[in-house]
Amino acid sequence: ERIRSLMCRMDGETEAIFVDDGSHDGSVEYLRDVVAAEPRFRLIELSRNFGHQIAITAGMEAAAGEAIIVMDADLQDPPEVVLDLVAKWKEGFEIVYARRTRREGESWFKRMSASLFYRVLEKMTP
């Protein structure tokens, strides 16, 4: 529902592509119902768990728009941040990314590895 609400607030044509990476928790059945009721939603069902990166690639290959925003379905990141990302893209930035400033509920190792990742990313981008 949050994604549908978000899409109503966006200008232009939008689509949401959900990729099921071989889940066994009943989520694909739920997504089938959601997608059937919303023409802007699409579902890609992978035959088994191929991994996070393959799932992202499958969604990107199926996308038809000028811009792609990748977001995990666990809602650790609020979908509403998409509005800010799109605004920056419309300003002319080719690549836009977001970073969480607070990492509550995560282990020390997870926080440190995320910190290292973003430091490397900052060094690699102008």
Encode pLDDT of 63-117 as tens digits.
998 999 999 887 778 889 999 999 999 999 999 988 777 656 778 888 788 888 8
CB-CB contact of 15 with 64 (8 Å):
yes
Predicted confidence band of residue 41 (pLDDT cuts 50, 70, 90):
very high
Q: How many independent structural domains does the chain possess?
A: 1
Instruction: Please report, as a single letter, which amino acid is at residue 93.
Output: F
- Residue with the bigger pLDDT between 27 and 76: it is 27
- Quick one: tokens of 8? 């109503």
pTM, to two decimals: 0.75
Domain span holding position 35: 2-73
Mean pLDDT of the chain: 89
Planar angle of CA 3, 74, 47, nearest 5 degrees: 95
Is 115 part of a structural domain of the chain?
no
pLDDT (0 to 100) of residue 61: 97
Based on its alpha-carbon atoms, the radius of gyration of the chain, rounded to whole angstroms, reads 16
Instruction: Please report, as a single letter, which amino acid is at residue 47.
Output: S
Question: What phi, psi does 19 have (nearest 5°)?
Answer: -115, 120
Is 93 part of a structural domain of the chain?
no
